[in-house]
């Protein structure tokens, strides 16, 4: 995935800027360049004669709509960028039917400066195709959904995991509605491209390890996911350039490592009953989602647990000044070597102390289950608001079982 699908912009002053676009287009050469501020929907576009010109704009509206409006107005191309908050993002949007490039906010500023510097600004747009570039390491795309889930009681970090989803080359049904009839492949971006990677990896693992439960497979995927690139640099959120477990979840899926996780955070279907009872759902609602033979749930019988104590492969807690300490219960099942010793590596979230009891796990059997408690405490240096992230890793030889730890320093909106 160390590649970008480059759409190259050459300004009349010789400056070359690489943006991105998924759709090939015919070169648009030496056209007048205009920058249009404001909302197109409010008439900013129709106030300018853009016929035959390349239109530059800061994206405040849907890129499909912008492209369509420019095309209808007779424009020859579109250059767009995001506001400063998401300024690094150049993630291409597919199916734009116009010559287009998405550039960084910083490059957008350069384009505005150039347009203002000359009475007759011009530009050329050229589709350069796939460009391999080790420096363009994959990052969490701007359009990827962010957590946390805004019901704090859920107690589970979302998202879970990341799969490749930007500029994915894949087969498409030739000749079907809306797809190119002359080709049987295409490039697309989105969740629809990412989820098939994860589903396919799950199918591969189920075939190789048929005895694993769905929760064990999910745990294996999450605890072995990559949080760094092969060169050791962290995988970041493209909008901020920083790591963010609320964007990436446990990491970027690593199918080979997922086949041999060593330990799993397992869950049986019945383990979800005390969890959903604890979320406050009543029995008639729970029975609607519970399949046979678990129907006719009684929360009085099943008991209730707090969301944070669901035996999930990640950890999320809320630590406020009023409630600065939280204990989290977990249990791991040994599916690696029968006799194995796991030691602990903790990266505490900033401003938080983390104590794990016990901090060594000694197994003598396969399928042996061991419990531990993670004690999280808000320290004097904790942020007043916002979030912090750390991790907990059980290590035994080549095996490393990692869980992200996400801390919210203020209750979520619904509390
Ligand atoms: C195209 O879509 C229409 C409407 O959804 C449907 O009736 C038609 O069968 C589709 N054609 C093909 C080739 O899939
Ligand atoms: C259970 O909860 C649902 C949804 O909140 C509500 O409509 C229903 O009346 C409740 N049933 C009982 C028996 O309390
Ligand atoms: C659940 O309870 C209802 C009403 O008491 C009963 O009709 C139904 O057979 C029960 N279902 C199961 C799976 O026990
Ligand atoms: C969560 O956030 C969404 C979007 O802001 C909002 O529509 C929804 O009502 C929120 N839910 C809760 C439980 O706060």
What is the secondary structure of 167-204 as a DSSP string? Answer: SEEEE--TTSTTS-TT-SEEEE-SHHHHHHHHHHHHHH
Separation CA 345–CA 391 (nearest Å): 8
pLDDT for the residue 415: 44
Using a 6 Å CB cutoff, which residues line ligand 2? 282, 284-285
Q: Which of 315, 314, 308, 307 is nearest to 277 (CA)?
A: 307
Q: Which stretch of 164-178, 328-342, 382-396 has the lowest confidence by average pLDDT? A: 164-178
Nearest ligand, measured from the Cα of 285: 2
Nearest ligand, measured from the Cα of 284: 2
* Mean model confidence pLDDT for the chain: 91
The verdict on the CB of residue 413 being under 6 Å from ligand 4 is yes
**pLDDT, average across residues 132-144:** 81
Number of the ligand 2 atom closest to the C-alpha atom of 282: 1
Q: Which stretch of 60-74, 279-293, 306-320 has the lowest confidence by average pLDDT? A: 279-293
pLDDT of 240 higher than 90:
no
pLDDT for the residue 174: 64
197-232 residue pLDDT tens: 999 999 999 999 999 999 999 999 999 999 999 889
Separation CA 392–CA 373 (nearest Å): 12
- CA–centroid distance, 27 to ligand 3, in Å, is 68
Dihedral of the alpha carbons of 326, 327, 329, 330, in degrees to the nearest 10: 80
- CA–centroid distance, 47 to ligand 1, in Å, is 39
331-355 residue pLDDT tens: 999 999 999 999 999 999 999 999 9
pLDDT for the residue 152: 60
CB-based contact 223:402 (threshold 8 Å) = yes
Fold of domain 3-132: Glucose Oxidase; domain 1 (3.50.30)
108-122 residue pLDDT tens: 999 999 999 999 999
264-286 residue pLDDT tens: 999 998 999 999 999 999 998 99
CB-based contact 143:233 (threshold 8 Å) = no
- CB neighbourhood size of 282 (10 A): 11
Classify each residue of 206-238 as buried b or exposed e, where b means 16 or more C-beta atoms within 10 Å of its C-beta.
Answer: eeebeebeebbbbbbbbbbbbbebeeeeebbbb
Number of the ligand 4 atom closest to the C-alpha atom of 150: 1
Separation CA 365–CA 402 (nearest Å): 21
Number of the ligand 3 atom closest to the C-alpha atom of 293: 13
Q: What share of the chain is helix, strand, coil (3-state, %, to 5)?
A: 20, 30, 50
Domain ranges across the chain: 3-132, 268-310
Interior CA angle at 230 toward 224 and 232, to 5°?
Answer: 95
Label residue 3 by pLDDT band (50, 70, 90).
confident
pLDDT for the residue 98: 92
Q: Please give, one letter per residue, the 3-state secondary structure of 332-361.
A: EEECCCCCEEEEEEEECCCCEEEEEECCEE
Q: What is the sign of the dihedral through the CA atoms of 230, 399, 253 and 245?
A: negative
Label residue 167 by pLDDT band (50, 70, 90).
confident
Label residue 178 by pLDDT band (50, 70, 90).
low
The verdict on the CB of residue 151 being under 6 Å from ligand 4 is yes
Q: Which of 282, 283, 288 to mutate to test the pocket of ligand 2 (most atoms within 8 A of CB)?
A: 282
pLDDT for the residue 134: 65
Query: What is the residue with the minimal CA distance to atom 10 of ligand 3?
Result: 296
Q: Which of 285, 296, 299 to mutate to test the pocket of ligand 2 (most atoms within 8 A of CB)?
A: 285
DSSP-derived pairing of the beta strands 168-171 and 185-188: antiparallel
The verdict on the CB of residue 300 being under 6 Å from ligand 1 is no
């Amino acid at each position: 995935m160390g590649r970008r699908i480059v759409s190259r912009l050459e300004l009349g002053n010789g400056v070359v800027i690489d943006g991105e676009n998924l759709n090939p287009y015919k070169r648009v050469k030496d056209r007048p360049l205009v920058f249009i501020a404001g909302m197109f929907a409010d008439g900013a576009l129709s106030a300018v004669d853009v016929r035959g010109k390349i239109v530059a704009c800061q994206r405040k509206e849907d890129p499909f709509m912008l492209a369509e409006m420019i095309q209808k107005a007779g424009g020859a191309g579109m250059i767009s960028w995001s506001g400063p908050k998401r300024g690094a993002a150049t993630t291409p949007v597919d199916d734009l039917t116009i010559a287009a490039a998405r550039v960084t906010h910083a490059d957008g500023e350069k384009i505005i400066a150039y347009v203002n510097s000359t009475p007759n600004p011009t530009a050329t747009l050229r589709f350069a195709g796939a460009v391999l570039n080790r420096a363009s390491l994959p990052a969490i795309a701007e359009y990827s959904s962010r957590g946390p889930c805004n019901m704090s009681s859920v107690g589970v970090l979302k998202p879970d995991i990341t799969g490749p989803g930007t500029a994915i080359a894949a087969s498409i049904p030739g000749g079907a509605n809306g797809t190119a009839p002359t080709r049987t492949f295409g490039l697309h971006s989105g969740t629809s491209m990412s989820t098939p990677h994860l589903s396919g990896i799950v199918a591969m693992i189920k075939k190789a390890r048929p005895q694993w439960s769905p929760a064990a497979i999910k745990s294996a995927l999450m605890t072995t996911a990559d949080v760094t690139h092969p060169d050791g640099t962290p995988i970041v959120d493209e909008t901020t350039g920083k790591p963010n477990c609320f964007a990436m979840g446990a990491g970027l899926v690593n199918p080979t490592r997922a086949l041999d996780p060593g330990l799993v955070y397992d869950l049986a279907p019945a383990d979800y009953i005390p969890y959903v009872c604890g979320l406050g759902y009543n029995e008639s609602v729970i029975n609607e989602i519970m399949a046979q033979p678990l129907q006719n749930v009684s929360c009085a019988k099943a008991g209730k647990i707090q969301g944070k104590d669901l035996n999930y492969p990640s950890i999320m807690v809320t630590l406020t000044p009023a409630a600065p300490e939280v204990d989290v219960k977990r249990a791991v099942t040994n599916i690696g070597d029968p006799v194995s010793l796991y030691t602990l590596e903790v990266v505490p979230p900033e401003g938080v102390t983390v104590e794990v009891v016990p901090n060594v796990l000694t197994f003598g059997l396969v399928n042996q289950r061991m419990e531990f408690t993670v004690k999280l405490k808000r320290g004097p240096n904790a942020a007043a608001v916002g979030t912090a992230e750390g991790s907990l890793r059980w290590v035994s030889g080549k095996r490393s079982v990692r869980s992200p730890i996400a801390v919210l320093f203020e209750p979520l909106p619904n509390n």
